[in-house]
Amino acid sequence: MVSSSTNDGFVLLWSGGKDAMLAHDVLHSQSPRRIGALLTTVVEQRDTVTMHGTPLALIQRQAEALGIPLHVMEVPADAPNEVYENRLQRVVAPLMSDGYQTIVAGDLFLQDIRAYREKICQDIGVRPLFPLWQRDTMWLARRFVERGYRAVVTSVDTTQLDTAFLGRSFDTAFLNDLPHDVDPCGEHGEFHTFVVDGPPFADPVPIAKEEIYGEDRMRYVRLREIARGTASGEEERGDRSPPRPT
């Protein structure tokens, strides 16, 4: 664990997606302080990021590429708020002992989500920070692309966005093709992403996209880790070919 003498006391809630990456990007571009730890929530027994479906192994690769220690919180599927809050407090307590006093979140404009995070942080005894709050989401989405970040769409809510967008690269073409009623950052849960490369990455995180799966309203594309030096180059080319359905 990083000691308090070598960090700025910031823990970033890390989904592996573009909003968390943008929070890192905007904070680092506007402040001399730096993120000292990443905190990821995964579904226990599945080891996949909640809502995103990203395997924990890929999140670990991101943390290695960013050079930031990763801390993992496991929760049951569809965990009630009480369980989430208890587990978060359990994970954050040793971080606080090590000098971390601020939790950074990539929330954009949903006031109820912000209020919930603020209450949890108050109960735990840490300060919440929202570096993206109420910024224009199209500006943020285009900043992500223009800054050289690359991401793939890992999940979609089929009541808000067609499955044809699943597995696509998050790029200018994707943004141009989005229906007008879909937020370009997916803040209403329309879609989620996984970042494979960007300016702070020491190395890209090579992935393979496999089958589509899921039930009810959510659909996911299964991502597979590729060993270094054996990448297919699929994401490097910005290939937007859809993965094979099941």
Instruction: Residue 91: give its domain's CATH number.
Output: 3.40.50.620
Is residue 155 in some structural domain?
Answer: yes
Say yes or no: 26 and 123 in one domain. Answer: yes
Query: What percentage of the chain has pLDDT greater than the value 90?
Result: 80
What is the rounded average pLDDT for all residues in the chain? 89
pLDDT of 241 strictly over 60: no
Is 175 found in the same domain as 111? Answer: no
For the chain, what is the domain count? 2
Measured between alpha carbons, how far is 170 from 152 in angstroms, rounded to an integer? 6
Kindly report the pTM of this predicted structure: 0.88
pLDDT digits (tens, 9 = 90+) for 207-220: 999 999 998 899 99
Alpha carbons 179 and 87: distance in angstroms, whole number: 37
The mean pLDDT of 38-45, rounded to a whole number, is: 94
Asked if residue 232 belongs to a domain, the reply is no
- Say if residue 46's pLDDT is above 70: yes
Query: In the predicted model, is pLDDT for residue 231 greater than 50?
Result: no
Cα angle: 153, vertex 145, 49; to 5 degrees: 35
pLDDT of 138 higher than 80: yes
Whether 143 and 98 map to the same domain: the answer is: no
* Domain assignment of residue 158, given as a range: 137-225
* pLDDT tens digits along 60-93: 999 999 999 999 999 998 889 999 999 999 999 9
**Same domain flag for 9 and 108:** yes
pLDDT tens digit sequence for 164-210: 999 999 999 999 999 999 999 999 999 999 999 999 999 999 999 99
DSSP string, 76-110: -TT--HHHHHHHHHHHHHHHHHTT--EEE----S-
